[in-house]
Structure 1
Amino acid sequence: MNIANEWLLAYLALGVFVGFFAGLLGVGGGAIMVPMLTTLFAAQGFPREHLVHVALGTSMAGIVITSISSLRAHHAHGAVRWDIVKGVAPGILAGTFAGTFVASRVPTAPLAVFFSCFTAYVAVQMILNVKPKPSRELPGVLGLAGVGAGIGGISAMVAIGGGSLSVPFMTWCNVKIQHAIGTSAAIGLPIAVAGALGYLINGWGAPELPEFTVGFIYLPALVLVSAMSSLTAPIGARLAHRLPVAVLKKVFAGVLIVLSAKMLHTLMAG
């Protein structure tokens, strides 16, 4: 099967967009990739049964590359709280890997609805801008591991790098927004590795998958999106350290609202 040039260009353009917002907002890019890949895959005639599964798996694999690029840029600005990363990493790995087994057994339509409702909820929380108590602090080692498991499990279900969960959690615990974004970029890496491995295993041997698909990972989209996102993620990361907090939160919420609406539109149109 030959892939038309317009689809290849679409994947390249998506990579530019994903990388920029991954660096800017500390997200792995999955919240952007999943609805867009679902739309592109549907237009290409991919089997509806595994439409969202392939979008989720491809997104998780792509986040591996995007997270590395975004992480390096934020680390260069001294914005990564490695103490937090070490605390949540064990729970992240376990929760994410387990979550892929659940997601792979849920039909396409419920997965799309869950993704849309989740992103809309997170966006509303950011818009309301509820202020944390001045005395609120990060939990201890066990608490961080538990939070990591929760973030990992949900992230696997919606194929995100965890930024839409970890950024609000850290700011709620009075972590500076720029540090929360930079730390979220680091947290996204173990999420992506465990998630990509899980979707690879769960999709292996699945029937009627399109050509160039390994497990639930579509290789042409993975390669092209990752190539471009690794170039634009550092640009977004630099901008994140120049914008005021209010602007960052509004951009974050606005992107999530648009994408949750896009996912619902794709579902209803199908």
Structure 2
Amino acid sequence: MTLTYVGSGFAVGLLVGLTGVGGGSLMTPLLTLLFGINPAVAVGTDLAFASATKVAGTFAHRYHGNVHWDIVRRLCLGALPAAVVTALGLKYFGALSQEIGQFIRYSIATSVLLTVVAILFRGRMQAWMNSHPSRQLHGRALTTATVVSGAILGTLVTISSIGAGAVGATLLVLLYPRLKPAEIAGTDIAYAVPLTAIAALGHWWLGSINWELLAMLLLGSVPGITLGSLAARAVPERALRGLLAITLTGVAAKLVL
């Protein structure tokens, strides 16, 4: 089983490196469906996994000047309190109970479907926003919308561990359509570091992190992400993203049914 977990970490890391899609949309359903792990434990373990892997990405993007720290602060202003409140809510209702476990399964399915929408339509959304400048927010309205988006993402990520990647990047595209792709990626990863860290701490407090499983996933994912990133240019991105979208749609259906 140890080799299976390491292999799963490698496979998810490879896909993350190839497509740029957040690992949560792949790892959490994998742990829940394939290995039968309690949904809350799958979410908590993946959050710890994400907080560890996103730190290196943040340093890389900061080095290249791709992080807009003013946007990161606005997102965190909404996301971090939302993560704390959501963790307290899970504690109150019983994160490891069967009823909450079923609710988390549905939340994971919803987040996976939002990721599919992000994969398929993010480019079109950005093009539409840039061609309709009158629809773009400015000033206080933009700041408020960013904070609210952060709160939504904070809640979503704490419940399902999914949303800080493709969904967060899509919201950034809608709010800040003039950002370059590298700036969207860098800003998205930078705010996700404290969010996933606080959400992971919340799940640690809830007792829903499997540390042995986390170590095995990290052992496989680091070389997987590295290899996937190196091979990304040689793989037809559109075909791969289409296949990934179909797969994730099937995963979401399986989680619900």
- TM-score interval w.r.t. the shorter chain? 0.7 to 0.9
**In the alignment, what sits opposite 1:192?**
196
The equivalent of 1:216 in structure 2 is 208
* Residue matched to 2:220: 228
Q: Hey, what's the Cα distance between the residues in 2 that align with 1:39 and 1:259? A: 12
2:115–2:163 CA contact under 8 A, matched in 1: no
Alignment match, 1:62: 49
Counterpart Cα distance in 2 of 1:124 and 1:20: 21
Q: 2:167 aligns with which of 165, 168, 184?
A: 165
Q: Give the whole-Å Cα distance in 1 for the aligned partners of 2:230 and 2:181.
A: 14
Alignment partners' CA distance in 2, 1:70 and 1:18: 16
Partner amino acid, structure 2, of 1:177: P
Q: Secondary structure at the match of 1:107?
A: helix
Other structure's SS at 1:217 match: coil
Matched, 1:132 2:120: no
TM-score (norm 1): 0.75
Aligned identity (percent) is: 25
The structure 2 residue matched to 1:114, chosen from 107, 113, 132, is 107
Q: 2:4 aligns with which of 3, 10, 28?
A: 10
Say whether the 8 Å CA contact 2:5–2:216 is kept in structure 1. Answer: yes
Residues of 2 paired with 1:32 and 1:251: CA distance?
A: 14
* d(CA) in 2 for partners of 1:70, 1:93: 20
Change (3 A) 1:81 1:236: farther
CA distance in 2, matches of 1:165, 1:8: 31
- Post-superposition Cα deviations, 1:15-37, rounded to whole Å, max 9, x if no partner, equal 22333444555555111111111
Note closer, same or farther for the CA distance 1:25–1:185 as it changes in structure 2 (3 Å cut). farther
Aligned partner of 1:209 in structure 2 is none
Whether contact under 8 Å (2:165, 2:188) holds in the other structure is yes
Is 1:151 aligned with 2:147? Answer: no
How far apart are 1:223 and its partner, in Å?
0.7
Aligned pair partner of 1:178 in 145, 169, 182: 182
Q: Which 5+ residue runs of structure 2 have no aligned equivalent? A: none
The higher-RCO structure (CA 8 Å, 6+ apart) is 2
Question: Considering only aligned residues, what root-mean-square deviation do their CA atoms show, in Å?
Answer: 3.0
Give TM-score scaled by structure 2 length: 0.78
Contact 2:82/2:151 (CA < 8 Å) preserved in 1? yes
Structure 1 residues 237 and 63, CA, compared in 2 at 3 Å: closer, same or farther?
A: same
Partner of 1:207: none
Letter in 2 for 1:12: V
Structure 2 counterpart of 1:165, one-letter code: V
Structure with higher helix content: 2
